[in-house]
Amino acid sequence: MEYLYETHMHTSQVSRCGIKPAVQQVRDFKKKGYAGIIVTDHFINGYSNCPLHYSWDEKMKFLMSGFIEAKIEGDKCGLDVFYGWEFTIRGADFLTYGLDLDFLITHPNLDKYDIEDYSEVVRQNGGFLAQAHPYRDDWYVEHCFPVNPSLIDAVEVYNSCEPDRRNAKSLAFAEKHNLPKQAGSDCHGKGYGFSAGVLLQNKANSIFDIIEAIKTKQVRLRVPD
């Protein structure tokens, strides 16, 4: 038996691009047979609904609000819900796992970090960093680029919102540099959602089980036929 996990999804509470609220997202993923999801709403330096007048602590608590609602609903319906976020630097996006509110509160101005400093502080504190859709070149993207492979732990080689040509480039980049691979729906509530993820041989008891499986290349990628 394998267990399917979504690695990249958004809620309408926190992400400006989100279409469905956390509770509905959880119910939908449960119906689609997922064992769990990682909520990766946009950080405040990305496409976020966070009010600009909030203090740093208030902004970080707002960032978690979609996850908290999802976790409550997940506990009710039997879907595991884990926390992460999508961090943006000059148009490039980075899925960040394994860190919590205490880390965020104690790192004010994190949204101003460049990729070198961000990678260092995340990984020194036990976090995990995967570059999402490294070849996205839509009109609203300032400048997306694959980063120095030493700065990341994995590459999202399949993103359901991306055309095949971009996903193929992401896969080639990961294989060239021998980086671990992952897949995600980048689900916003409709359209391309519920079609991708990672499959684990064992049920994840924490997000660190998913991180370890990706890092050690013990996941099978779920992508549409």
Q: Report the DSSP beta bridge partners of residue 197.
A: 222
Residues 81, 74: Cα–Cα separation, whole Å? 6
Q: Give residue 86's region: left, alpha or beta (phi > 0; psi -120 to 50).
A: beta
Residues 137, 140: Cα–Cα separation, whole Å? 8
Say how many C-beta atoms besides its own lie within 10 A of residue 26's C-beta: 28
> Which residues does the chain have with pLDDT short of 70?
138-143, 191-193
65: part of which helix (H) or strand (E)? helix 65-77
Domains of the chain: 3-215 (3.20.20.140)
Residues 190, 212: Cα–Cα separation, whole Å? 30
Show the CA angle centred on residue 183, arms to residues 177 and 187, nearest 5°: 140
HEC readout, 9-62: ECCCCCECCCCCCHHHHHHHHHHCCCCEEEEEEECCCCCECCCCCCCHHHHHHH
Burial of 107 (0-12, 13-18, 19+ CB in 10 A): middle
What pLDDT does 141 receive? 62
95: part of which helix (H) or strand (E)? strand 92-97
Pair 155, 181: CB distance under 8 Å: yes
